[in-house]
């Protein structure tokens, strides 16, 4: 197509029409996806797939049409919009309409297969879904029950493997039509730097935190050996992940009772406090909203309370994976959760509301700028707020005794590290594996072997028993069949501590970083809002600087937050094996 350079207003007219069209399609797709996620039937699956196919096809057509302006003179704002238009999809369908519909249908089918996954535990009265099987991993200490629950859920991947292999081929075909080497290269191009430089940036951040992770891993392994014996947990090798209290070993805090530092009281139990106070799910959400309001931000719209799915319906299949929604890209904000009265879900609520408040803050931006600076910012924001859920803050809500002594720092920090630090290598590996799948480094016949090779290398974990290529264990993680990039969560686990440190300083809170809460600080709220309002209108270093005064992502805040625990772990590990 010839370059369009003669008409100086052509770029503005093209972008204005494109943004109007994309906004209409976004609303249609969001509504169809919401109905499918909260009422799974073959009909809602088909409707969501068709809406997604229309959105993808139109976006791809517009992205390709924008190439005629490659040599045109334009403002930096318009140049950024065109770049974001070309990067706006995580899934690019091929030009052929039949193939495009096939691709969107594959994703809807894989997500539906995942949501319908069930396993009958040995001796159990009925089959359990992921939530029920995860509860076994959380609560049981019976090795056989843990292995059965883990293995039973992971069979869901068998029904996803073939669809996934076809999806990879079609997604790559679409990405290549748009000018990218493959879908992984498309994903890595969203960070205001070349894809190869982004790989180096992720590895740099991982190298900052890897020694701390290895120290935590060594301590946890030794405690699990003491509990289960060296026959089940090797003293020098990777940890069998079904002993870590989570289906993917991405967080270990639910086995804290086995890992608590000797001589500590065990730390404050938020779940028990919520239950004892008779806290309801709407009240938990109201507490989350109250935190943002304490920073000077407005209340959620009434429609949020009318339209959100806060608990699991009893009459239909739903996607329980927690998520935040901005249906109309303006103010129709919702969350979807199968919330339970737990301390974990109390934190998840704050996380999801962080998405909603971010979405609302940039709603005045042009459509193509209605997003976070990069996707790690979106994930980090709510978790930044959750870092302020300290015992002192909970006392202000009446959920903790204000007269109680300060928590033992080792207990408090270890609980947090089991959630935050334990996650980091998994947050890296899941997309590292997919990037290699997309670029052909990993062939379909090697999906499972390479999955476990990477998890052993970075995470130091292993499955309960050998896993063959008849299994597809990556498919047992929601984000894989649902085509959701994951490295954003790794970035968020770095950025949230960088954000927290900056906001604590802005709030003028004294004392250790891990005890500081910004609750009630409108100064911190103004700094936060200044960053959120930028949306994607500027490169992410500008947004980072608006909040923190820094232009490089850095794990220094994380290391400062956990410094007392790191020193204690290193002392505990002296004379014992570290690594695997």
Q: How many of the other CB atoms lie within 10 Å of CB of 8? A: 10
Catalytic-role residue among 217, 242, 287, 321 = 321
- Give the three-class secondary structure for 403: coil
Compute the distance between CA of residue 393 and CA of residue 277 in angstroms, rounded to an integer: 16
Catalytic-role residue among 46, 322, 523, 563 = 322
What are phi and psi for residue 166, nearest 5 degrees? Answer: -65, -40
Compute the distance between CA of residue 580 and CA of residue 218 in angstroms, rounded to an integer: 9
Is 321 assigned a catalytic role? Answer: yes
CA dihedral 362, 535, 202, 414 (to 10 degrees): -30
Q: What angle do CA 336, 337, 342 make, to 5 degrees?
A: 155
Compute the distance between CA of residue 287 and CA of residue 270 in angstroms, rounded to an integer: 13
CA dihedral 145, 218, 479, 61 (to 10 degrees): -170
Q: How many of the other CB atoms lie within 10 Å of CB of 2? A: 6
Is 489 assigned a catalytic role? Answer: yes
Catalytic-role residue among 219, 367, 489, 561 = 489
Is 550 assigned a catalytic role? Answer: no
Catalytic-role residue among 65, 177, 392, 479 = 479
Q: Which residues lie closer than 8 Å to 294 by C-beta, 6 or more apart?
A: 519, 520, 521, 525
Catalytic-role residue among 45, 147, 352, 471 = 352
Catalytic-role residue among 355, 374, 378, 514 = 355
Compute the distance between CA of residue 110 and CA of residue 194 in angstroms, rounded to an integer: 31
Compute the distance between CA of residue 53 and CA of residue 307 in angstroms, rounded to an integer: 25
Is 500 assigned a catalytic role? Answer: no
Is 322 assigned a catalytic role? Answer: yes
Is 355 assigned a catalytic role? Answer: yes
Is 289 assigned a catalytic role? Answer: no
Adjacent-strand bridge partners of 335 = 324
Q: What angle do CA 267, 271, 273 make, to 5 degrees?
A: 80
- Which positions are catalytic? 321-322, 351-352, 355, 379, 479, 489
């Amino acid at each position: 197509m010839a370059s369009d350079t003669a008409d100086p207003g052509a770029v503005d007219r093209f972008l204005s029409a494109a943004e109007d069209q994309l906004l209409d399609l976004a609303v249609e797709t969001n509504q169809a996806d919401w109905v499918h996620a909260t009422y799974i039937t073959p009909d809602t699956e088909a409707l969501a797939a068709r809406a997604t196919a229309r959105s993808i096809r139109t976006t791809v057509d517009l992205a390709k049409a924008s190439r005629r302006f490659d040599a045109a003179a334009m403002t930096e704002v318009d140049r950024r919009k065109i770049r974001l238009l070309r990067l706006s999809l995580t899934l690019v369908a091929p030009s052929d309409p039949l193939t495009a519909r096939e691709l969107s249908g594959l994703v809807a089918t894989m997500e539906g297969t995942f949501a319908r996954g069930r396993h009958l535990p040995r001796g159990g009265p009925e089959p359990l879904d992921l939530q029920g099987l995860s509860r076994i991993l959380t609560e049981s200490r019976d090795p056989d029950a843990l292995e059965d629950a883990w293995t039973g859920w992971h069979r869901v991947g068998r029904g996803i493997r073939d669809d996934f292999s076809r999806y990879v081929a079609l997604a790559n075909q679409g990405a290549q039509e748009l000018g990218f080497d493959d879908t992984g290269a498309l994903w890595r191009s969203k960070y205001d730097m070349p894809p190869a430089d982004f790989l180096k940036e992720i590895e740099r951040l991982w190298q900052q935190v890897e020694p701390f992770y290895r120290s935590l891993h060594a301590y946890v392994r030794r405690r699990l050996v003491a509990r289960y014996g060296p026959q089940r947990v090797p003293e020098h090798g990777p940890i069998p992940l079904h002993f870590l209290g989570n289906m993917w070993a991405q967080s270990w805090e639910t086995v804290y009772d086995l890992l608590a530092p000797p001589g500590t009281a065990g730390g404050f139990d938020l779940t028990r406090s919520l239950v004892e106070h008779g806290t309801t799910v709407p009240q938990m959400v109201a507490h989350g909203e109250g935190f943002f309001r304490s920073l000077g931000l407005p209340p959620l719209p009434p429609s949020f309370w009318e339209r959100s799915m806060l608990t699991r319906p009893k009459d239909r299949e739903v996607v329980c994976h927690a998520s935040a929604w901005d249906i109309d890209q303006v103010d129709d904000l919702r969350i979807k959760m199968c919330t339970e009265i737990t301390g974990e879900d109390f934190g998840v609520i704050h996380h999801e509301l962080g998405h909603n408040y971010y979405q609302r803050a940039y709603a005045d931006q042009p459509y193509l700028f209605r997003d976070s600076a990069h996707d790690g910012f979106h994930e980090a924001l709510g978790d930044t707020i959750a870092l302020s859920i300290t015992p002192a803050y909970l006392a202000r809500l009446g959920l903790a005794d204000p007269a109680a002594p300060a928590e033992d720092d080792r207990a408090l920090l270890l609980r947090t590290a089991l959630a935050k630090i334990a996650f980091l290598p998994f947050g890296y590996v899941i997309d590292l594996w997919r990037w290699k799948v997309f670029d052909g480094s990993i062939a379909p016949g090697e999906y499972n072997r390479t999955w476990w090779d990477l998890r052993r290398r970075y995470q130091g974990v292993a499955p309960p028993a050998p896993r063959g290529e008849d299994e597809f264990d990556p498919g047992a993680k929601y984000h894989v069949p649902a085509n959701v990039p994951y490295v954003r969560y790794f970035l968020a686990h770095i950025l949230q501590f960088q954000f927290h440190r900056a906001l604590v300083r802005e709030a003028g809170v004294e004392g250790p970083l891990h005890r500081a809460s910004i609750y009630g600080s409108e100064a911190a709220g103004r700094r936060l809002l200044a960053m959120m309002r930028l949306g994607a209108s500027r490169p992410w270093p500008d947004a980072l600087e608006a909040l923190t005064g820094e232009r490089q992502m850095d794990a220094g805040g994380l290391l400062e937050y956990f410094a007392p625990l790191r020193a204690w772990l290193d002392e505990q590990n002296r004379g014992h094996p570290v690594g695997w």
